[in-house]
Amino acid sequence: MIHTNHHSTPDEPSNERHRPKTGSRTRYLEYQQKAKAGGLPNGSVHSKTTRPQRHTRVRSAGELLRRFFRLLAPYRSQIVWILVSLTISTLLALIPPAGTKFLVDYVLGSEKLPPEFVRWFPTVSDKHALLTGVLLTVCCVSLLRITVHILGRWYATRITKRIQLDVRRRVFEHAVQLPLHRVQEIRSGGVASILREDGGSVGDLVFGLIYNPWHATIQLTGSLLVLAWVDWKLMTGAVVLLPVIFLTHRTWINRIRPQFRAVRQQREMIDASATEAFAGMRIVRTFGRQNREARRFITENNLMARQELFAWWWMRCVEMTWEIMIPISSAALLYYGGWQVLEGNLTVGDLMMFLVYLLMLIQPLATLASSATQLQNSLSGLDRVLDLLEEPTEMPRTTDSIRIRKGETPVNLQFQNVSFTYPSSETPALKDVNLTIPAGTTVALVGPSGAGKTTLCNLVARFYDPTEGAILLDGTDLKQYDVQSFRSLLGVVEQDVFLFDGTIGDNIAYGRRNATDTEVREAAEAANAMEFIKKMPDGMNTVIGERGVRLSGGQRQRLAIARAILADPGLLILDEATSNLDTESERLIQQSLQKLMQDRTSFVIAHRLSTIAGADMICVVEDGRITQTGTHEELMQKGGKYRHMVEQQVQMTLGRIQPAASLTAQQ
């Protein structure tokens, strides 16, 4: 009898392990305490595991800046043009405020023009002419400044986008070259977050580190020089504000980068979890866990929102410092300037011009303060990008690597005392494997699940290298071959078929570059796939969805076989390649596979007797060791594990047939 719990629903299981141990608020309070104590980790974790990462490191701001400027090396000439144009436009912006003095003192007031000015511009001695001349000059200078400014900003934006594209390209190209165990540890949504968020923020450093600070520095310097010309005491009062920048930076800014990094890591985890949930939507719905996944998504987003608000308060501390200091200092300087006007030491025009330049002085100070916080955000993105780029790639190519030309190297394989342990495990998956496989031999690997059959094939494909021993190809260690050229020999069909979100034809053609439509169709026919392709609304051009979700398991399997047939490999690996096929389709595909495996070195992992009986060599794998080798007839005569497996399978088959026969007889 099956007992059910009427007090719980499938979406609200009574087992507490299905629920988060702590809510977002509790985790946020822990995070807040670490942030205040300066205990947030600087290293990133691009992984779904919780074990310590070997490649985690802490980089100083100086090191990050040096790495960023290396990225700018191809754009040096354009950077120079940006700085020159920005300098010109900023200096031109310092001219119009000087017109304020002319209008107030010499046009509207009763002050006389300086003799030097009259000598150089005798035609504007009249006030009306002076008014017209000042306004025309201001308009012309402003138009010129705007033109130069737009050109400079366009180049800066263009470089930003190019750097973003370059960084994203480098991250993607490096990520696909990582060792397989690291690729499996990194969640796909996490990589997407690094490409999108962190890669974009690196490009933003062009503005946060070069454009805005340079603009602020030129404007600040020019404003200080003009203020010194008007009244050096006023300039001294304005300079007092500069130490505040250093103090706020030392006090607050350096504490913000770890917070931005934590937010980015949380966003990466959210993206990865959401991607995983949608990829496994059939399982989510099968077990009725839609609400559970939604709750988990909301909980993690709540934590990220709290982290972002906490970082916002730290930024506001910097901004509030300026919001307090700027009005107080401006009021003090205005009081002093007004006092000087009343004393007759300054004209009203001098004071008006001073106020304009004071605003131009305050603006870059505020820009530098806000840029400092944004800079830390972008540097945290660069830091995470560098973490990924500095991970070692899979079996890097060297000058001594041997390149393989397809069809020229006979695939004779020899295993010499091969043992292998996965990086994340301490238990060997293979132990002391010795095996000689002549070219063109079909090797069937049989044994219980987890015995090491797939691991052995992974070593053959060089997804991993042996921990001990060596695998020889035509007498040469596989490690001496260039891995990319070696894999041009490979054709792989796995039980868990992966198809891309594209057309049927594109997925088959993935097996060979520049394959013709005729070759793609012939491969589909050889794999018995044309039977269902013809029934599709668009035939070969039918879009099959992400991972081929619009196809059945058997249809996906046949497309994978067609892809392998088109690749025309010298070394073939079939990992339960016919497991998802019905009896009739399996019979037809077995014929195609026999033709495909002819004169090729092939490894076949299967449990069905029909698939393995015709192999040239059958290897029984148990607990990471090869315990028996031989043909089907030889192993049946020897007895042992293989014969027991065959007899067990025959009994199971007869057990299914006899009840059906009895039922037919009764009818």
With helix as H, strand as E and coil as C, how does 518-572 read? HHHHHHHHHCCCHHHHCCCCCHHHCECCHHHCCCCHHHHHHHHHHHHHHHCCCEE
State the average pLDDT for the chain: 78
pLDDT band for position 459 (50/70/90)? very high
Q: What are phi and psi of 23, to 5 degrees?
A: -80, 175
- Judged by average pLDDT, the poorest of 315-319, 515-519, 599-603 is 315-319
The mean-pLDDT minimum among 28-32, 61-65, 310-314 falls in 28-32
> Which tokens sit at 632?
């089907």
Q: Lowest-confidence range among 68-77, 337-346, 625-634?
A: 337-346
Q: Among 11-15, 179-183, 376-380, 385-389, where is mean pLDDT lowest?
A: 11-15
**Fold identical between 22-38+60-389 and 413-640?**
no
- What is the rounded average pLDDT of the residues 414-427? 90
pLDDT per residue as tens digits for the range 226-281: 778 777 776 776 677 667 666 666 666 666 767 777 777 787 787 777 877 776 77
613-654 tens-digit pLDDT = 888 999 999 999 999 999 999 999 988 888 888 888 778 766
- 168, two tokens: 């994203």
Residue 127 C-beta-side C-alpha neighbours within 13 Å: 10
Query: Which region among 53-57, 519-523, 543-547, 618-622 has the lowest average model confidence (pLDDT)?
Result: 53-57
- On whether the 22-38+60-389 domain is CATH 1.20.1560.10, my answer is yes
Rounded to whole angstroms, the Cα distance separating 325 from 315 reads 16
**Residue 430 clears pLDDT 50, i.e. is over it:** yes
Quick: pLDDT tens for 101-152. 777 777 776 667 666 766 676 666 677 777 887 788 889 999 999 999 999 8
- What Cα–Cα distance (Å) separates residue 616 from each residue in 153, 444, 489, 612, 638? 69, 8, 20, 9, 16
Q: Do 492 and 567 form a contact (C-beta atoms < 8 A)?
A: no
666 band by pLDDT with thresholds 50, 70 and 90:
very low
CATH for the stretch 413-640: 3.40.50.300
- Between 272 and 506, whose confidence is greater? 506
List, in order, residues 6 or more apart from 588 with CB less than 8 Å away: 528
Which residues face 602 on adjacent strands? 442, 572
- Structural contact between residues 259 and 35, judged by C-beta atoms closer than 8 angstroms: yes
Q: In degrees, to the nearest 5, what angle opens at C-alpha 77 toward C-alphas 71 and 78?
A: 80
CA distance readout (Å), 536 to 288, 504, 529, 543, 553: 32, 10, 11, 10, 16
**Domain boundaries, given as residue ranges, for the chain:** 22-38+60-389, 413-640
pTM over 0.85: no
**Structure-model confidence comparison of residues 257 and 516, the more confident one:** 516
